[in-house]
Amino acid sequence: MELGTSTPGGYLLVLAILLPLAGIMLSFTLGGRNAERVALGSTPFGIVLACAIAFEVGQAGKPIVYTIGGLPPPLGIALRADGISAVMLVAAAVILAAAAFYARSKFATPDGVRESRSALTFWIMLQAIWAALIIIFVGGDLFNLYVALELLTFAAVPLVCIDGRPETLVAALRYLLFALFGSICYLLGVALFYGAHGTIDISLLAQRVQPTPVVWMAAALMTAGLLAKTALFPVHLWLPPAHANAPAAASAVLSGLVVKGSFFLTLRLWFFVLPALHTETAAVILGGLGSAAVIVGSVMALGQARLKLLVAYSTVAQIGYLFLVFPLASGGAQTWSAAGWSAGLMQVLAHAFAKAGMFLSAGVLAEALGHDRIGNLRGAARVLPLTFLTIALGGLSLMGLPPSGGFNAKWLMLQAAVASGQWFWTLPILVGGLLAAGYVYRILAPALSDGQVSLKVTPMRSQEVIALALTMAAIVLGFAPQAFLDFLEIGRPVTASSP
């Protein structure tokens, strides 16, 4: 396979990256209301580009590549889009566009002011998150990915504390410092990889990598750094306060997409850089942490008094499921490995859409009722039917009930677990589903029962519809055909299965 040369359609990758980067600079320079206009105006182009990339990948049936400046790795930097990149690009573009349009009312520049701090920050950071995610999804060079990871952190942190309350500042600071810790671990791993093999291009490394202590140390450091940024239990300290305190549109992006960025790189590392090595034990460690995250996160979600904190802890739990992909898809050439792989990606997508929709709904709810205490939601579904429909549909996916992407993910995960004889993993999957049902019940049962609730503010229909549309996407994923799962396999290296 020629890894070092551009393929047809490869130029789309550069354009996809440059679009939000140009948007950041334009927004920053023009300032004021133009920042919003630039951000909103570029979203349709972003979606079109993402779809075009997905189309090209599907057409080619193999990854599309672009070598920047025509200079191939190891000296130059290559961009590559395979099946999972393409799917993530589309998901990110859609969710970011939804969050952007949802946020228009909250982050409009007020009348009589030329420019406001929160509006300018929001629109710039939103585009920066977008740019960083695109690079993460298509980047082929580990150092380039490091810069993108930092870009992602720098963009995400100001969103957490955008309203300036002290608790959001603490949350943002915890997030920033821990994320920096994570990136520096990652960077150390990159240095070791370069020292061991003289390249940090993912494809070249995959060919050269040897099971030496240096490589294992590099992998361990990079993984730990990425876990810190993904907030996998037990290093999830920063996530609940950060995601629960950010404005709804930001929470949706942070929970739905930003943590997936670092998770995506973990996938890249273990399945694309190290597929030739025996990673079974490490996979079990990651799966074990994921299982613990599922259980602890769900139990904690059950106990929360505030809706946004509940949803944030649910993210901790759902991130746990993602890490089951490591033991369940590590079999490479085995047939069950494909199910495990599809399951992992399906979970990424379903959670991204469902959680983004739920956070947006939580925002509508908090705005409309003036609070988000679960104890005071009695009868609230009567005044906010659409919002609770969204929460219910999102909950359906989180619980893993059909028809939803969440169900498909669990179905495939369980199949991989059963077929591979790794019975142990069925337990967290099933228990997590039960616990999720518990916390969704806690929100919905009182809201649907009789009670008097008065609205402080009439919710904006457009915001409700955007949230609903996102959760509907999670539901529609439940009808994904086999062709979609095959698409996810495009470009995935197959493990050497010899003992």
Partner 1 sequence: MNDLLSILLVASLAAPLALLGACFVKRWRQRALALQWLAPIPSLAAGLIGMTGAPLSRDLPVLGFTLYLDPPGALLLAVAAALWIVVSAALWRARRPDGRFGVSWLLTMTGNIGVFIAGDLVSFYLVYALVSIPAYGLFAFSNDSEQKRAGAVYLAFAILGEAVLLLAFVMLQAGEPHASARIVDVMGALPASPWRDAALGLIIAGFGMKIGMVPFNGWMPLNYKAAPIPVAALLSGAGVKAGVIGLIRFLPHGVTLEGWGVALAAIGFLSAYYGVVFGLTQRNPKVILAYSSISQMGVITAALGTALLAGHADASFNVAFYSANHLLVKAALFLTIGAFATRGTRLSPVWFALAVALALSLAGLPLTGGALAKLAMKPQFDGGTVGLLATLSSIGTALLMTHFLGCLAEPPSGAAEECPSGLVRSWPAVALAALLVPWAFYEGVGGDASKALHFGEILDGLWPVVIGVVLALALRRMAWSPPDVPVGDSIVFAERAYLRLLNVGPVFEGLDARLRQWPAAGLSLLLIILSLLTAGVSGR
Partner 2 sequence: MSVLPYLDVGLALLVVAVAAWTVAARALFASVVSYVAYGLLLAFVWIRLYAPDVALTEAAVGGGVTGVLLITAGKRLGALHDIGPDVRPGVGLKLLTGVLAALVAGALASVILLLPDPPPSLAPEASAAIDSAGAGLGNPITAVLMSYRSFDTMLEKIVLVLAVAGVWSMTADEAWGRAPSPFRRSRPYAPTIFLAQMLAPIGTLIGIHVFWTGANAPGGAFQGGALLAAIWIITMMARLAEPPRVDARWLRMALVAGPAVFLVNGLTGEFVAGSFFAYPPSVAKPIILFIEAFMVLSIAVALPMLVAGPSSEGSDQ
Partner 3 sequence: MNPSVIAGLTGATLVGLGLYGFILHPHPLRKLLAFNLIGSGVFLVFGIVARRGAAAGFRFDPVPQAMVITGIVVAFAASAVAVALILRLSAANSDLSLDPDARAEPSDGEGP
Interacting residues with partner 3 (CB under 8 A): 75, 143, 146-147, 150, 153-154, 157-158, 161, 163-167, 169-170, 172-174, 176-177, 180-181, 183-184, 187-188, 190-192, 194-195, 198, 237, 241, 244-245, 247-248, 306, 309, 363, 366-367, 369-373
Rounded CA separation 34/113 (Å): 13
Asked if residue 239 lies in contact with residue 315, where contact means CB atoms within 8 angstroms, the answer is yes
Nearer to partner 3, 167 or 280 (CB): 167
**For the chain, what is the largest distance between any 2 Cα atoms, rounded to a whole number of angstroms?**
70
- Residue from 172, 348, 381, 393 binding partner 1 (CB under 8 A): 381
Nearer to partner 1, 191 or 302 (CB): 302
Choose the stretch contacting partner 1; rule: CB under 8 A; options: 37-45, 154-162, 211-219, 258-266: 211-219
**Binding of partner 2 at residue 117 (CB under 8 A)?**
yes
Asked if residue 406 lies in contact with residue 350, where contact means CB atoms within 8 angstroms, the answer is yes
Nearer to partner 1, 105 or 462 (CB): 462
3-state SS, residue 401: coil
Choose the stretch contacting partner 1; rule: CB under 8 A; options: 59-67, 132-140, 228-236, 469-477: 228-236
Site string for partner 1, 120-159 (x = CB under 8 A): ----------------------------------------
Q: At what angle do helices 259-267 and 335-369 cross, to 10 degrees?
A: 170
How distant, in Å, are the alpha carbons of 263, 406, 488 from that of 348? 9, 9, 12
- Residue from 410, 459, 473, 491 binding partner 1 (CB under 8 A): 410
Q: What string of DSSP letters covers 351-397?
A: HHHHHHHHHHHHHHHHHHHS--BGGG-TTHHHH-HHHHHHHHHHHHH
Nearer to partner 2, 11 or 484 (CB): 11
- Sequence letter at residue 131: A
CB of 67 to partner 1, least distance (A): 31
Question: Could you say which of partner 3, partner 2, partner 1, none residue 66 binds, taking C-beta under 5 to 8 angstroms by partner kind?
Answer: partner 2
CB of 174 to partner 3, least distance (A): 5
Asked if residue 245 lies in contact with residue 160, where contact means CB atoms within 8 angstroms, the answer is yes
CB of 186 to partner 1, least distance (A): 11
Question: Could you say which of partner 3, partner 1, partner 2, none residue 121 binds, taking C-beta under 5 to 8 angstroms by partner kind?
Answer: partner 2
- Residue from 60, 170, 415, 469 binding partner 1 (CB under 8 A): 415
- Sequence letter at residue 233: F
Residue ranges of alpha helices (H) inside 139-165 are 142-160
Phi-psi map region of 198: left, alpha, beta (phi>0 left; psi -120 to 50 alpha): left
Rounded CA separation 343/346 (Å): 5
Q: Phi and psi for 416 in degrees, rounded to 5?
A: -65, -40
Question: Could you say which of partner 3, partner 2, partner 1, none residue 197 binds, taking C-beta under 5 to 8 angstroms by partner kind?
Answer: partner 2
Choose the stretch contacting partner 1; rule: CB under 8 A; options: 40-48, 255-263, 318-326, 408-416: 408-416
- Residue from 3, 77, 190, 309 binding partner 2 (CB under 8 A): 77
Nearer to partner 2, 70 or 499 (CB): 70
**Binding of partner 1 at residue 215 (CB under 8 A)?**
yes
Rounded CA separation 198/142 (Å): 12
Question: Could you say which of partner 2, partner 3, partner 1, none residue 329 binds, taking C-beta under 5 to 8 angstroms by partner kind?
Answer: none
- Residue from 112, 114, 421, 452 binding partner 2 (CB under 8 A): 114
* Direct distance between the N- and C-terminal alpha carbons of the chain, in angstroms, rounded to an integer: 25
- Sequence letter at residue 236: H
Asked if residue 397 lies in contact with residue 407, where contact means CB atoms within 8 angstroms, the answer is yes
CB of 371 to partner 3, least distance (A): 4
CB of 441 to partner 3, least distance (A): 21
Nearer to partner 1, 30 or 480 (CB): 480
Other C-beta atoms closer than 10 Å to the C-beta of 164 total 10
**Binding of partner 2 at residue 29 (CB under 8 A)?**
yes
**Distance from CA of residue 206 to its chain's centroid?**
25
Rounded CA separation 397/405 (Å): 6
**Binding of partner 1 at residue 403 (CB under 8 A)?**
yes
Give residue for tokens 């603490």.
Answer: 170
Phi-psi map region of 194: left, alpha, beta (phi>0 left; psi -120 to 50 alpha): alpha
Beta bridge partners of 306: 373
Rounded CA separation 414/426 (Å): 6
Give residue for tokens 């942070």.
Answer: 254
- Element housing 81 (H / E): strand 78-81
Question: Could you say which of partner 3, partner 1, partner 2, none residue 289 binds, taking C-beta under 5 to 8 angstroms by partner kind?
Answer: partner 1
Rounded CA separation 287/299 (Å): 18
**Binding of partner 2 at residue 74 (CB under 8 A)?**
yes
Q: Which residues bind partner 2 (CB under 8 A)?
A: 6, 11, 14, 18, 21-22, 24-25, 28-29, 31, 66-71, 74-77, 114-118, 120-121, 124-125, 128, 131, 135, 143-144, 147-148, 150-151, 154-155, 157-158, 161-162, 164, 188, 192, 194-199, 212-214, 217
